Chain A
Amino acid sequence: MLRFLVRRILGALVILLVISAVTFWLFYAIPRDPAMMSCGKNCTPDMLKQVRHNLGIDHPVPVQYWYWLKGIFVGRSYGDFGDCAAPCLGYSFANRQPVLGTILDRLPLTLSLAFGSAVVFIIFGVGAGMIAAVKQGKWQDKLASSGSLIASSLQIYFVGYIAMYFLVAKLGILDNPSYTPLTDNPAEWASGLLLPWLVLALIWTANYTRMSRSQLVETLSEDYVRTARAKGLSRRTVFFRFAWRGAMGPIVTIFGIDLATLIGGAIITESVFSLQGVGRLALDAVNKSDLPMVLGVTLLSAGAIVVFNIVVDAVYALIDPRIRLA
């Protein structure tokens, strides 16, 4: 287990390094000068040069990348723009703030959105899939199958507005989506995010219904399940102790990756519901050509994906003892 973790973490670091380098290099291809944007109007060539120096963009790209990497471990100074302490992911020219601080400000919203909807869609998705698998061929199965097929074809940028139109504007059952920190007022936190959770869950549930159904159908027909039944164990025990456990492995894998994707910024979701999370931060940063911010969010998203991949593999081994971490 330890060897597995060490190897995977090293691999993850390499991937993050490559991703940051690629992003860095690709953005250099944009012929836009961040110094011009920081310097503003009435910018004399001397001032521009000074700004360039402060921002550290008067060096060649590999050197800039090296400084950026170094900044993560020892921090760096941006001259007049101020200092950026040790885990320094860079300094946003557009916001005039260190990147990490801004991301951490926005992160609670995105995490609430991700975990809240994940709880809903994993429970409903796996639940519906279980019912469909047990009632194979009956109406419950057909309902779950066709319902999930349609739901998986829905898009948040359509359903989100439809839901807001009916539930908020017409019927007034729910509030307009908003974010209150959980620590301030848990009730408002939940009621403000309820609509995004439900809409996200509606779309993502479908995948889990289909998957857990097909997984369960497969494991229910396996020999070890039949053996367990033949031994005289009750249906319930066989289902939960044997079949369910065998079927959940792949679900856990997909769940981990989906959760990582959501944490990395549900850009479209946040745009639809006008929530200022990490996803919106990324979109705004791209529109403003704010490279350090884009780089920071990219690294966070990629980091979430890589970390969750490792976690998922470890959890998979715990659920299914047949898997050995080699």
Chain B
Amino acid sequence: MTSPTPSAATPLEVTDETVTKSTTSSGPKGSESRSPGRLAWKRFKRDKTGVISAYVVIFFFVIAIAAPLIAKLYGKNPYTTYASQDPSLLDAFAYPAGPNGGMSSQFWFGVEPQLGRDVFTFLLYAIRTSLGIAVATTILTVTLGVVVGITAGYLGGKTDYLVSRVIDILLSFPSTLFFIAFMPVVYGIFVAPDDNIPTWLRAVALIVVLTAFGWATIARLLRGQVLALREREFVEAAKVTGASPMRIVFKELLPNLWTPIIIQGTLLLPTLVTTEAGLSFLGVGIIDPTPDWGVMIARGSTFYSQDLTFMLFPGISMVLFVVAFNLLGDSVRDALDPKSKR
């Protein structure tokens, strides 16, 4: 789960591109500013797959952010059970009366079986919850991993040894099992055993648990990078000129680490989306009535053999997002690090 394998689909073309590029652009326009960032952006813009998947990913984030607005324009919300207002929406067995899961001009994506909620707004808010949790966790995990990794790598010695052992142990934890086992622990810290667990706490607990077991991979990687960088001349030079450790870390080391950090972040986010949905599917993360991709699939699984339509919406939208994000990640990687063959 923690060993992402970047696609090896396009490395050859990319290398060719950079070769031709460096030969052509070293000509008359040499005065043009060519910072590594701008070069990467140029490379990225030329990658059609990357640009298209970027649009898809942006589309998902826009509807996640604008979910309340869209729901308002559309005139429904994900919580109202419309079937109780209009019993004709569901048939005698509490399945949608209309064809295709009750899709109509009124209910674009149909009606939820049994409770009769509106699938369209439910999906919008589900994307909002899932992406929100995944983004927050990604930021926290990457930050924690970067801080710990750089500290261990830069300080070395006993700190490094200790941190490396902690990382070793964390990486041998069976992850899914631990996510599940420690969700109740986090709840237990905040709420008395018999009280209801508020939704924000469920989200926070998910973020805490996913971060707590997720930072080790990134920390290990950055530690290795820092160990290599630490011995380079420019760091020596900075030390000789009397730069403080803070300055060396932030001004000398960090600028050289942005590429692996961004790459790790893009690898992490889609796996977090699916892990979060998986936990919610098992009933240990977000739970019904709060819309969430995992919750929708869990709902759909209770009546999938009668009404598959409901399940297709969360399922297909999630696959679409994850595929697009993985493709985007591949392109970003190729753009930032054209030399890497993987």
List chain A positions with a Cβ less than 8 A from chain B. 15, 18-19, 23, 26-27, 29-32, 137, 142, 145-146, 149-150, 152-155, 157-158, 161-162, 164-165, 169, 207, 210-211, 213-214, 217-218, 254, 257, 261, 264-265, 267-268, 271-272, 279, 282-283, 286-287, 289, 294, 297-298, 301-302, 304-306, 309
Contact = CB atoms under 8 A, between A and B. Distances in A.
Contact of A23 (B181, B188, B300, B322): B181
Contacts of A306: 172
Interface string B162-176: 000000110011101
Nearest to A30: B188
B172 A149 contact: no
Contact of B184 (A152, A264, A265, A289): A289
Contacts of B315: 155, 158, 161-162
19 contacts: A15-B172, A19-B169, A26-B181, A32-B188, A149-B9, A153-B326, A155-B315, A155-B319, A161-B304, A161-B315, A165-B305, A268-B281, A268-B282, A286-B180, A286-B284, A289-B184, A298-B177, A302-B172, A305-B172
Given A15-B168, A165-B308, A158 B188 contact: no
B174 A155 contact: no
B8 A298 contact: no
Contacts of B7: 145, 149, 210
B246 interface: no
A323 B120 CA distance: 56
B189 interface: yes
Given A30-B188, A158-B318, A211-B5, A283 B172 contact: no
Interface residues of B, number: 51
Contacts of B294: 157
Contacts of A29: 185, 188-189
Contact of B174 (A142, A161, A301): A301
A153 B318 CA distance: 9
A272 B281 CA distance: 10
Contacts of A142: 9
Chain B contact residues, majority secondary structure: helix
Nearest to B168: A15
Contacts of A152: 326
B76 interface: no
A26 B274 CA distance: 26
A149 B327 contact: yes
B38 interface: no
Given A265-B174, A268-B176, A27 B277 contact: no
A154 B319 contact: yes
B1 interface: yes
A4 B283 CA distance: 43
B174 A254 contact: no
A117 B152 CA distance: 39
Interface in B296-320: 297, 300-301, 304-305, 308, 311, 314-315, 318-319
A268 B7 CA distance: 26
A192 to B, nearest CB: 18
B192 interface: yes
Contact of A157 (B173, B278, B327): B278
Contacts of A158: 297, 311, 314-315, 318-319
B276 to A, nearest CB: 11
Contact of A254 (B3, B181, B193, B301): B3
Given A19-B172, A271-B282, A282 B5 contact: no
A153 B185 CA distance: 30
Nearest to A206: B5
B230 interface: no
A27 to B, nearest CB: 7
Contacts of B182: 26
A153 B8 contact: no
Interface in B251-303: 270, 274, 277-278, 281-284, 294, 297, 300-301
B178 interface: yes
A302 B174 contact: yes
A150 B7 CA distance: 11
A169 B7 CA distance: 35
B298 to A, nearest CB: 8
Given A31-B193, A267-B282, A305-B172, A153 B341 contact: no
A265 B177 contact: yes
